[in-house]
Structure 1
Amino acid sequence: MREETEVIVVGAGPSGLSVGACLRSRGIPFEILERSTEVGSSWRNHYERLHLHTMQRFSSLPGMPWPAGTPTYPSRAQMVAYLDAYARDFELTPLFGEDVRSARREDGGFVLRTEANEYRTRALVVATGYNRVPNVPTWPGDASFGGPILHSSRYKNGDPWRGKRVLVVGAGNSGAEIALDLWEHGAKPALSVRGPVHVVPRDLTGVPSQLTSLFLFSRLPPKVADAISLFALDRMLGDLTPYGFTRPKLGPISQVVLEKRIPLIDVGTLELVKQGQIDVVKDVRSFDPGEVHFVDGTTRPFDAVVLATGYRTGISEYFEDAEGWLDERGYPRYFGEPVPGAPGLFFIGFRNPLTGALHDIAIEAERVAEHLAGERR
């Protein structure tokens, strides 16, 4: 058992490190608990081709801009190097190998248990992120498929699948970019689009989409922003229905605001779809040896399947009585502010806002630290 710590931050990714730096600058004692052995473990384990979809100019953490010469959209490796430098410069030394197994409120504070230790704290900042637990669906017959069926969290690059027929299930940002990566490595990818999805270019007529969101869409009523964005997308991309992409009923801005779902930010996949280099198929219905059956009645042979089916936060699996603070998808309802009815509890880094996740993480971290500093005065 350890002595009580004034603040515990769970997670040493961008969110947890940001909070740590902001607490350090205000002289507030804290510990960061991290289940892996390094900071930024999620970024280290993402597929190699990944780049930020947001500009480095608006994606820095508190107190540390990106190094001069960093490209507009930093790579996964550059993000990892940035997080390493951030932890070093702010003297952040997480307690590694501390996977929180349970957390509960007790005596006006919180008690956390890991495999080896118990921690008590006055304030708790949960910064474990929205990709803590891979979401791995199952289908009838998938055990008989014969080839690998792996979640995107285990996908590194397309080199092992050169010349192979690979189905990518899920047309979010990860799925679309993994399909592109497979094609670049000589595989024969198909993308399973499971439902309606908005497609937005990463750059709109040469201007990063994030700039448009920061300075226009985030300041307009969602319905007005929807109308403007759809007008522009119609003229830039045309009708994508013939290529297998149908639009949701909600506009792209309203969908982010109301459903917390971001569009597919295209970095080149759409052009390959239009060229016939990447096939688009419907949702999966079932599997047979070497084959996948789809809901439209078609069947196609594949050698491997990559599940770009997202993640769960996993908060309710270790945090007692957390359901009242979570929405139907398991995401926190409160961001960077005290949770009503649970003094000292904060969630950070569980959003994908129009303005960019890292941009808002920096704002939320300052807000959390300032609130905790105010309580000490």
Structure 2
Amino acid sequence: MKLYDTLIIGGGQAGLSVAYFFRRHNIDYLILDANEKPGGSWLHTWDSLKLFSPTTYSSLSGWQMPQSEKDYPTKDEFISYLEQYETRYDFPVQRNTNVISVSKEHDVFKLTTNQGEFYSKTLVSATGTAQQPYIPKYPNQHLFKGLQLHSLNYQNANAIVGKRVLIIGGGNSGAQILAEVSKVAHTQWVTLEPPNFLPDDIDGRYLFNEATQTYLGKPQETSSGIKASLSNIVMVESVKEARARAVLHAKRPFTAFYEQGVLWNDNTKEPFDAVIWCTGFKANLKHLEPLNLIENNRIETQHTRAVKEPKLWLVGYGSWTGFASATIYGVGKTARQTVKEIIETL
């Protein structure tokens, strides 16, 4: 039985960030990644996805992403960057390895995978949220006969050309997918609240700076006097183009589904051929269920360290595992602290 000092579950931006800080220490670790190639969850996003920050703010620790041809990097450019990053630092990664469950035996973690069993003294879970899509429940949802898919499963609009499409969700994914689909289909956008669009000159740089100041207890307004949030919609090129076509108009949620479509608040019916849910994700923690640490789809942590299992760290799941840890720009800060704690523990 080979016993690693640390195993990292997940080879996306969070897992690679932790591995980067391990480089400074002589420990035996391995990244277990379920994908067949580098890229993490970005491999499963839609084809035309654009990041909403320039390359300077879309880079991991140690090496800046090469300059993009456009203002905002594409999905493929970022995946290429992750591949180069992994190669540059020669991280030990085992591909096509899906961690099914994690248990503890004699103070050692036992990971059961589709490639056999792995053992380690400490453990980092960095599986993120992309494989756990969240879809809200509506009355009679099961009766709808049209296509329903989450943004996780949306690749492009080829299959819905000329269709009537309902797009649900008011974040950047909803706006970008609406912008694309509305070019080839009849669309209606649904959001809980009126969409919050940022001014054209404000992007992820300002969002991250503002979020940092808020974290430090010094909230600031942007140069336009607008309080920015990471949930606001950034006006990337495709969204600006959609605005010019006057398609960025959203209705408040409907009350129920029926066989051919949805029922609005005024009891009118509207038929749709497809629904695309751009409603976010939940933390992917299923593999950790045997440890009996999960409550309300979270594990209690102090920074990234599990309170009830101090040899387990969770990186990249959102603010509950460290400030801005689910972002490209923010994950390095939490990864650095995680590695410091692991080295002290070892």
Q: TM-score range by the shorter chain?
A: 0.7 to 0.9
Q: Please name the residue that 1:61 is paired with.
A: 60
Distance 2:215 2:7 in 1: 37
Deviation at 1:81, TM superposition (A): 0.5
The one-letter amino acid of 1:263's match is N
Residue 301 (1) aligns with residue 245 (2): no
Q: Please name the residue that 1:341 is paired with.
A: 308
Q: 1:232 aligns with which of 221, 225, 228?
A: 225
State the SS of the aligned residue for 1:199: coil
1:254-273 per-residue CA deviation (whole Å, 9 max, x = no partner) reads: xx7xxxxx334443648846
Distance 1:311 1:335, change over 3 A: farther
Q: Contact conserved, 2:130 with 2:281, CA < 8 A, in 1? A: yes
Deviation at 1:13, TM superposition (A): 0.6
Distance 1:223 1:18 in 2: 26
Distance 2:104 2:215 in 1: 38
Q: Please name the residue that 1:241 is paired with.
A: none
Deviation at 1:110, TM superposition (A): 1.7
Q: Please name the residue that 1:351 is paired with.
A: 318
State the SS of the aligned residue for 1:112: strand
The one-letter amino acid of 2:212's match is S
Deviation at 1:12, TM superposition (A): 0.7
Q: Please name the residue that 1:211 is paired with.
A: 206
State the SS of the aligned residue for 2:340: helix
1:247-288 per-residue CA deviation (whole Å, 9 max, x = no partner) reads: xxxx865xx7xxxxx334443648846864244223243323
State the SS of the aligned residue for 2:342: helix
Q: 2:186 aligns with which of 182, 188, 194?
A: 188
State the SS of the aligned residue for 2:262: strand
Q: Please name the residue that 2:330 is paired with.
A: 360
Deviation at 1:343, TM superposition (A): 2.3
Distance 1:164 1:115, change over 3 A: same
Q: Contact conserved, 1:61 with 1:358, CA < 8 A, in 2? A: yes
Residue 311 (1) aligns with residue 306 (2): no
Deviation at 1:366, TM superposition (A): 2.2
Distance 1:25 1:291 in 2: 57
Distance 1:22 1:71, change over 3 A: farther
Distance 2:345 2:145 in 1: 58
Distance 1:191 1:126, change over 3 A: same
Distance 1:225 1:274 in 2: 33
Q: Please name the residue that 2:100 is paired with.
A: 101
The one-letter amino acid of 2:311's match is G
1:129-159 per-residue CA deviation (whole Å, 9 max, x = no partner) reads: 0222122445444444332111111111123
Distance 1:60 1:301 in 2: 43
Q: Please name the residue that 1:84 is paired with.
A: 83
Deviation at 1:69, TM superposition (A): 4.9
Residue 199 (1) aligns with residue 188 (2): no
**C-alpha RMSD of matched pairs (Å):** 3.1
Deviation at 1:313, TM superposition (A): 1.5
Distance 1:375 1:223 in 2: 31
State the SS of the aligned residue for 2:310: coil
Larger helix share, 1 or 2: 1
Distance 1:217 1:148 in 2: 37
Q: Contact conserved, 2:197 with 2:234, CA < 8 A, in 1? A: yes
State the SS of the aligned residue for 2:130: coil
Distance 1:53 1:333 in 2: 30
Q: Contact conserved, 1:192 with 1:280, CA < 8 A, in 2? A: yes
TM-score by length of 2: 0.85
Q: Contact conserved, 1:134 with 1:151, CA < 8 A, in 2? A: yes
Deviation at 1:349, TM superposition (A): 0.9
Deviation at 1:78, TM superposition (A): 0.3
Q: Which stretch of structure 1 is more off in the superposition, 270-279 or 134-143?
A: 270-279
Q: Contact conserved, 1:190 with 1:278, CA < 8 A, in 2? A: no
Distance 1:315 1:142, change over 3 A: same
Distance 1:219 1:301 in 2: 46
Distance 2:299 2:136 in 1: 23
State the SS of the aligned residue for 2:17: helix
Q: Please name the residue that 1:22 is paired with.
A: 21
Deviation at 1:293, TM superposition (A): 1.5
Distance 1:209 1:31, change over 3 A: closer
1:291-314 per-residue CA deviation (whole Å, 9 max, x = no partner) reads: 221345332121211111222213
State the SS of the aligned residue for 2:219: helix
Q: Contact conserved, 1:338 with 1:345, CA < 8 A, in 2? A: yes
The one-letter amino acid of 1:123's match is T
Q: Contact conserved, 2:324 with 2:330, CA < 8 A, in 1? A: no
Q: How many residues align?
A: 342
Q: Please name the residue that 2:232 is paired with.
A: 263
Distance 1:265 1:320 in 2: 40
Distance 1:309 1:68, change over 3 A: closer
Q: Which stretch of structure 1 is more off in the superposition, 45-54 or 144-153?
A: 144-153
State the SS of the aligned residue for 2:6: strand
The one-letter amino acid of 2:315's match is I
